[in-house]
């Protein structure tokens, strides 16, 4: 074993960063044995240096992150500060000064992953980011290494623990959205401002990363269709139950049937209770991968939190340090297919549409005619009525999103349709 330690700079020492530092210290001997050399925490960049950080030598703490990554003797920079800047500049500066990088920064990777990979390549360094997508769940490495010889056609998953907790509580207890959100906040699953989670921004960034790796093409955050789950109601949950389904906020990345394009989207969807993702409870994450040779694979576990995320960071740290000792590099960006990302209008899925209609003869015939005129085939229909008003629930076969949008607009123009109560996609059949 080499006795000279590999030096690690830590950018950020919050929930995740402090746990990374703790594990590096308490598991130092094991990490050294697995890597083939000891690892040494050489510096910790923070915004508030006066805060007490248990187990961290105060002499290592600095507010000058730029000077830390420019030192020249740093082997690996671990970036867990998040956001776009200064993280982007610090990472590229680290590459330029000889360090490899381990990051958990999903927002930055979804927006500028190509540029970061290019900077790593130009400087002969590694960029690893297992912790950016699903916490402790090994997902990035299986996609870009274990399945490198296979053809992935679809990635379908729950990649945000906060939204899964909220929807699970709505489903299991009958709670409304706000009540479930309040419980998630009280338990620490939701931030004081939960917008990034409940509006789908967090999941969309992860979908961009997953799609890019799975399909060997460049997918940015702006390419991902995003729809949050704040409009999901208790009535939607109940309707899903009647269909033998539950509702999840899903990240869906698909290769088109002709193989000439891909789609990436995040939105609430009904999935059958028989599907493995339906049983994912509380704040857990799970991702379903479908490939030609391996078939269906499912990855499941805690997708957030200090310890789970730190586990993924340390796994990357071990891999990068091993590469460093061997004077080699791990896999970089693979974007050779250059497939275009199709707009949401070309996505194909099933739909559950709930209509408020007049309770009189001929209504169902009018509605069915509209669906037929727009080329959308109906799978099932359920109608209930009382006192001149009725509810009509239509479940379609698979159709293009654009065709369904035209259908809904035409339905709104019918005199017998009082309103469209809800539209929900149905996945995982």
Rounded-to-integer distance, Cα 349 and Cα 397, Å:
8
Rounded-to-integer distance, Cα 354 and Cα 383, Å:
10
Confidence band of 383 (pLDDT split at 50, 70, 90): confident
Selection from 292, 264, 331 nearest residue 130 by Cα: 331
Q: Taking a C-beta distance cutoff of 8 angstroms, is the pair 404, 396 a contact? A: yes
Token readout for 138 is 């090994």
pLDDT tens for each residue of 295-341: 999 999 988 788 999 999 999 999 999 999 999 999 999 999 999 99
Confidence band of 244 (pLDDT split at 50, 70, 90): very high
Residue showing tokens 């899964």: 164
Mean pLDDT for the stretch of residues 176-181: 94
Model pTM? 0.94
pLDDT tens for each residue of 78-108: 999 999 999 999 999 999 999 999 999 999 9
Catalytic-labelled residue, pool 106, 169, 206, 248: 206
Mean pLDDT for the stretch of residues 14-18: 93
Mean pLDDT for the stretch of residues 251-265: 96
Rounded-to-integer distance, Cα 215 and Cα 137, Å:
20
Catalytic residue at 169?
no
Q: Does the pLDDT of residue 353 top 90, yes or no?
A: yes
Selection from 165, 169, 227, 224 nearest residue 190 by Cα: 165
Q: Does the pLDDT of residue 3 top 90, yes or no?
A: no
Residue 328: half-sphere exposure toward Cβ, Cα within 13 Å: 6
pLDDT tens for each residue of 410-424: 999 999 999 998 899
pLDDT of residue 321: 98
DSSP code, position 341: B
State the average pLDDT for the chain. Answer: 94
Mode of pairing for the β-strands spanning 295-302 and 389-396: unpaired
H or E element: which one contains 366?
Answer: helix 363-373
pLDDT of residue 429: 67
């Amino acid at each position: 074993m080499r006795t000279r330690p590999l030096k690690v700079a830590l950018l950020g020492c919050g929930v995740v960063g402090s746990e990374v530092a703790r594990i590096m210290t308490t598991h130092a001997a094991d990490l050294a044995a697995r890597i083939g050399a000891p690892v040494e925490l050489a510096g910790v960049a923070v915004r508030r240096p006066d805060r007490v950080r248990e187990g961290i030598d105060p002499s290592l703490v600095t507010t000058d992150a730029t000077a830390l990554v420019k030192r020249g003797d740093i082997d690996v920079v671990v970036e867990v500060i998040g956001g776009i800047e200064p993280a982007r500049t610090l990472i590229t500066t680290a590459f330029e000064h000889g360090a490899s990088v381990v990051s958990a920064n999903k927002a930055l990777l979804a927006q500028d992953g190509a540029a970061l990979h290019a900077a790593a390549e130009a400087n002969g360094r590694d960029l690893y980011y297992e912790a950016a997508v699903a916490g402790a769940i090994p997902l990035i490495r299986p996609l870009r290494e274990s399945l490198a010889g296979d053809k992935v056609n679809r990635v379908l998953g729950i990649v945000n623990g906060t939204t899964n907790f909220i929807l699970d509580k709505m489903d299991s207890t009958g709670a409304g959205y706000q009540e479930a959100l309040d419980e998630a906040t009280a338990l620490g699953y939701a931030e004081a401002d939960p917008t990034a989670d409940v509006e789908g921004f967090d999941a969309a960034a992860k979908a961009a990363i997953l799609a890019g790796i799975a399909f060997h093409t460049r997918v940015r955050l702006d390419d991902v269709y995003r729809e949050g789950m704040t409009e999901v109601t208790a009535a939607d949950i109940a309707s899903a139950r009647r269909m033998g389904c539950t509702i999840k906020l899903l990240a869906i990345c698909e290769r088109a049937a002709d193989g000439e394009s891909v789609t990436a989207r995040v939105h609430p969807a009904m999935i059958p209770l028989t599907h493995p993702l339906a049983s994912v409870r509380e704040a857990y994450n799970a991702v379903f991968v479908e490939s030609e040779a391996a078939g269906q694979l499912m990855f499941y576990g805690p997708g957030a939190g200090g310890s789970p995320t730190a586990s993924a960071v340390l796994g990357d740290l071990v891999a990068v340090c091993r590469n460093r000792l061997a004077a080699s590099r791990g896999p970089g960006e693979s974007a050779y297919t250059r497939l275009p990302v199709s707009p949401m209008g070309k996505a194909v899925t099933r739909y559950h549409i709930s209509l408020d209609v007049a309770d009189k003869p001929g209504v169902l015939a009018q509605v069915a005619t509209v669906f037929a005129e727009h080329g959308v085939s109906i799978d099932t229909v359920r109608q209930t009525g009382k006192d001149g008003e009725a509810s009509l629930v239509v479940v379609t076969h698979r159709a293009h999103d654009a065709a369904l949008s035209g259908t809904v607009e035409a339905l709104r123009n019918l005199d017998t349709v009082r309103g469209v109560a809800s539209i929900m996609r149905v996945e995982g059949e």
